[in-house]
Chain A
């Protein structure tokens, strides 16, 4: 056999195939996951029908990409659309997606469960009878839309813009709805972030302006996590795969977690810290680097705002870097390993060993904190600040293997209309002046704020959000939502039933990830990408020649999608355009007609995603068709150290440098198709734009902070009433031992069950089979102390406002003296409506200010269109502990500090599994106590405004609205 001849044949065939942009070599020997269907065959992919086994029956599929909507990672999915039935048969990963790269966790493929869920909401429903009574009637979309639009229009006409509120859980999109609210002129955006990630994000924002980290795990030498990113957490799947890559390449993994999480099991060093002591541990590592001179001196000298710090701390003394280093030594000398051991319970020798590992990382230190300790504790924001300080000491910021600021690794394409409007008012129900530095809206306090301060919400949208179940103190939310005087109309936009929707006036079904349009871009590695979520059946049918103008026409029942919903609603609010709103939702191609989503996304992909039009043209496609076909596009790879980039001369015409080395220019900001939110850095007194910062004689881009540098010392914190916390420090948690009664323990509730995702995945049968309950983790020593508790025994967990009854899980995977219970599970319904798969049927008894929730029936099997529901073998669907949690708003970040002080005792004879008991008066008292420790803008604002203008804020109002009112609005400190 002539090998050379054969070789030449193969080679020629390969070149010819690849010239067509097709895949020649399949299979895992080429690249990871190359065994995915080659993309040129997505239009007609053949697989054997597993249900026909052992017959070999071929099924033909059209593979249509979309983006997962179960958590906020935005992973790519491929929907396998059966060409015969035009139904989705399954979901797998999309190998073309730069973030997830074809890899998915269980939640992605489980989307098919949600699509085919027999209990999903298929038609618009309107309540009948009293709110919360559980009686509904089907209504037409038109009737619902007209009703809602009329109310909003009336509120606008009467200047009641504050009474329109949109409360969102997972955005799952990049700014569409915020831009809509801006177009409406409504400061009504209310996010869930202050019960989620505000703590950590505030810590990052005070350092670098941008509020999220983007660690480059794959290239790290050391990965330091205060999160459980191998099983849960934001961007968990894209990060988890890169953490494992990093580990395979030899990176050391260090995990701070009180629990032996799945992530901790993979760690080289697992530090089971006492809850709330994490900042002490991190500062001891920072202190070690400082004491031993193991930090990057040049980086610190160039990029920290040490001069500003010295000017404040040692006015008159020479502002030399050497003097700063002396100060730094002194400031952090108290954070030694013995101190950290005392706080955390982790031996000093272990901490020293870990610190020595961190010191070897150099600029390859990838760190991450999202929720975890930052979300659990008073002062949790300082955990992220202490963690990022280690990066800042090592210069491991935006370096290969280091940690990148979020906004440089995110791409939000400029849309066809970008409303220049800002609301002319300030919504103090979401941004009360007691929390001027809160990262996001004080959403979870709404019932208490309205109870004390009055106010009314005429139209309240909840969208992929379930405050009754998700927020602490859910009974106060039930009180609020049941009160028609306070909430005029509650519209729940949701694909599935949830506890808050039971207290709505309209329940409007919105699509799952394969039934709607959105774009997403997330900081998951050093690069930027855009992913497209799309209604896959609409795309499939359009490819087959049908003309579809409304996603509702192809979705199950009358399920709609929000993009089209909001456009339609806006047109009904402003049918003639007189209110000046409609123009932002009008077609440019056909003025006077509604903007279609093809035009909206077509414009975006054509004009605002560099490189996409060219890439699409290479395949003979329009940019929109390219995204419909492949679902994602990488805009840039390897962004690198943006702060070190020299500002080009063209931007420096008539520039001036101030005494803080900040450089301002008269040149307007160059047009940028990426509209990712950035902090609003102030111009100089003459209105020049800040363009950079002078470092060692060169003008560099710097960071979007007030100084342009990394803010080790935060003037913002200093000037707004918190001078003692202006540098990274350790704040003793509200569950610090000294703040607990002798018989109290900290309860950790901030962790997820690995396959679940809050209330989103309740209707996924595969996921529920794997994880459907949330026992209380308790150490054997504590179990012994409580009379020899065993796994499965029922315990009563008393918080300071009530109690719940749950089963114990005796495990050494938790520190002695600490208990833990996942915030997932414990779903419930009041009557027949709801998810039978995952919800217990309960009754709620109200006596005065006391509420008791008790199970009537657990989960279990039931007959439905899905034969699997008759095979459900479990009845335990967990306990809803969040109802018994008081609100703990951090006075700075505004984050709800989730950890609770609890007493654990064996269940009493009258207790039954799932019982929840809450005293609403005590809940409100708890709110008052936290309110007392705030430092309000009215007392501390340095400039008469409600909030530092430079900080990020959704739907930023006009500058004038920032001014504090002449009269105090509330009773803050």
Chain B
């Protein structure tokens, strides 16, 4: 990767941040259709698809936690002070660009190899371990500029993936990721949380997905955080909810298989997780859902 490609990644990273006047200029330079505006940014990055690694590779499916610590550890291992949000996509792409620049200007071969190894490690461990399924969902949004941004970034990442070749082993985030709990074994809360934790369920369920689900299933959409909404679905109509979730997981599995890029064990992981979720949900169809002990709580 050249120093100028570093600027491409840095510019793409900046576009994952709150838009200001500079973002319009960057969007224009990148030939994106339109100008990033605050409303779109807020809807996509603050309400639907949070641009943080920890939300996708963390076992809790939330910001922070061990996954963020692990990313922060990578910053430290590179001799840098982790920023406040070390796993923000913009921060990771900025770091990736910086490492690429180091590698490209380093004259001494051993150092160059080290910088390059650091760059590859960051790419596979902390970016490609989650970014493609994430970007696939951003592409589905109705914002032309952010949808195009996601396509461009995915394309750029695929080029980088192809350049370096897939890793032999799974990134640590994924290797350590716990599976989705089976609610028949008693912990229905963990099951609900797991459905919303992409690394466990293999799928990304946004607020918008849940709103659409309510419409499709003809259920009431109660306002609250995603787990509350999901729980209210079960309380209203558990069988339909299980069917709908199984369809979501199955669609996610098909999506993972269509990344158009050899990511080796990474794609296999995500597909396997989505298929496992599909299978688990399908098996729940045979279960008396009242035994699952999923109760709706008052908001």
Contact = CB atoms under 8 A, between A and B. Distances in A.
Interface of A: 1, 3-4, 6-11, 13-14, 23-30, 32, 35, 38, 245, 248-250
Interface in B1-48: 2-5, 7-8, 10-11, 13-14, 16-18, 20, 22-23, 25-26, 29-31
Nearest to A2: B31
Interface stretch (B82-90, B127-135, B217-225): B82-90
Interface stretch (B56-64, B151-159, B232-240, B242-250): B151-159
Contact of B29 (A4, A9, A26, A248): A9
A27 B29 contact: no
Contacts of A32: 83-84
B94 A7 contact: no
Nearest to A37: B20
B90 A6 contact: no
A27 B2 contact: no
B76 interface: yes
B294 interface: no
Contacts of A11: 3-4, 7
Given A4-B5, A29-B88, 6 more contacts: A3-B155, A7-B2, A14-B7, A26-B20, A29-B93, A248-B82
Nearest to A46: B21
A30 B94 contact: yes
Contacts of A23: 22
25 contacts: A1-B31, A3-B155, A4-B4, A6-B8, A6-B30, A6-B31, A10-B4, A10-B11, A10-B26, A11-B4, A14-B7, A23-B22, A25-B11, A26-B22, A26-B23, A27-B14, A28-B17, A28-B90, A29-B91, A29-B94, A30-B94, A32-B83, A35-B17, A248-B81, A248-B82
A10 B17 contact: no
A7 B7 contact: yes
A7 B14 contact: no
Given A1-B152, A1-B155, A25 B22 contact: yes
Contact of B156 (A3, A24, A29, A249): A3
Contacts of B82: 248
A241 to B, nearest CB: 11
A18 to B, nearest CB: 11
Contact of A28 (B5, B22, B88): B88
Contacts of B10: 10, 25, 29-30
A467 to B, nearest CB: 43
B90 A29 contact: yes
A250 B72 CA distance: 13
Interface of B: 2-5, 7-8, 10-11, 13-14, 16-18, 20, 22-23, 25-26, 29-31, 76, 81-85, 88, 90-91, 93-94, 152, 155-156, 159
B152 A7 contact: no
B7 A10 contact: yes
Nearest to B160: A3
Contact of A249 (B20, B81, B91): B81
Contacts of A24: 22
A26 B83 contact: no
Contacts of A250: 76
Nearest to B93: A29
A27 B90 contact: yes
B91 A10 contact: no
A249 B2 contact: no
Nearest to A25: B14
B201 to A, nearest CB: 29
A7 B5 contact: yes
A9 B28 CA distance: 10
A27 B8 CA distance: 15
Nearest to B31: A6
A28 B5 CA distance: 20
The 9 closest A-B pairs by CB, nearest first: A29-B90, A29-B94, A11-B4, A7-B8, A27-B17, A11-B7, A10-B7, A7-B4, A29-B91
B117 to A, nearest CB: 22
Q: Which among A1, A10, A38, A245 has the greatest number of chain B C-beta atoms within 10 A?
A: A10
Contacts of B31: 1, 6
B153 to A, nearest CB: 10
A8 B2 CA distance: 10
A640 to B, nearest CB: 21
Contacts of A7: 2, 4-5, 7-8
A619 B16 CA distance: 32
A7 B14 CA distance: 14
A10 B14 contact: no
A87 B27 CA distance: 35
B88 to A, nearest CB: 7
A32 to B, nearest CB: 6
B129 to A, nearest CB: 19
B5 A245 contact: no
Contacts of A29: 10, 13-14, 16-17, 83, 88, 90-91, 93-94
B92 to A, nearest CB: 8
B155 to A, nearest CB: 6
A10 B29 contact: yes
Contacts of B93: 29
A10 B8 contact: yes
A245 B83 CA distance: 10
A799 B245 CA distance: 72
A751 B84 CA distance: 30
A28 B88 CA distance: 10
A3 B29 contact: no
A3 B22 contact: no
Contacts of B2: 7
Contacts of B84: 28, 32
Contacts of A38: 22
A249 B80 CA distance: 9
B264 to A, nearest CB: 22
Contacts of B30: 6, 9-10
A28 B29 contact: no
B53 to A, nearest CB: 13
Contacts of A8: 4
Contacts of B4: 4, 7-8, 10-11
B189 to A, nearest CB: 32
A3 B159 contact: yes
Q: Which among B4, B18, B31, B85 has the greatest number of chain A C-beta atoms within 10 A?
A: B4
B39 to A, nearest CB: 10
Contacts of A27: 14, 17-18, 90
Nearest to B156: A3
B157 to A, nearest CB: 11
Contacts of B16: 29
A26 B7 contact: no
A12 to B, nearest CB: 8
Contacts of B20: 26
Nearest to B23: A26
Contacts of A10: 4, 7-8, 10-11, 26, 29-30
A835 B100 CA distance: 58
B46 to A, nearest CB: 15
Q: Which among A8, A13, A29 has the greatest number of chain B C-beta atoms within 10 A?
A: A29
A48 to B, nearest CB: 9
A23 B14 CA distance: 13
Contacts of B14: 25-27, 29-30
Contacts of B17: 26-29, 35
B10 to A, nearest CB: 6
B37 to A, nearest CB: 11
Contact of B91 (A9, A26, A28, A35): A28
A1 B13 CA distance: 18
A6 B31 CA distance: 8
A23 B23 CA distance: 12
A24 B94 CA distance: 13
A74 B234 CA distance: 58
Nearest to B148: A1
Nearest to B8: A7
Contacts of B81: 245, 248-249
A249 B76 contact: yes
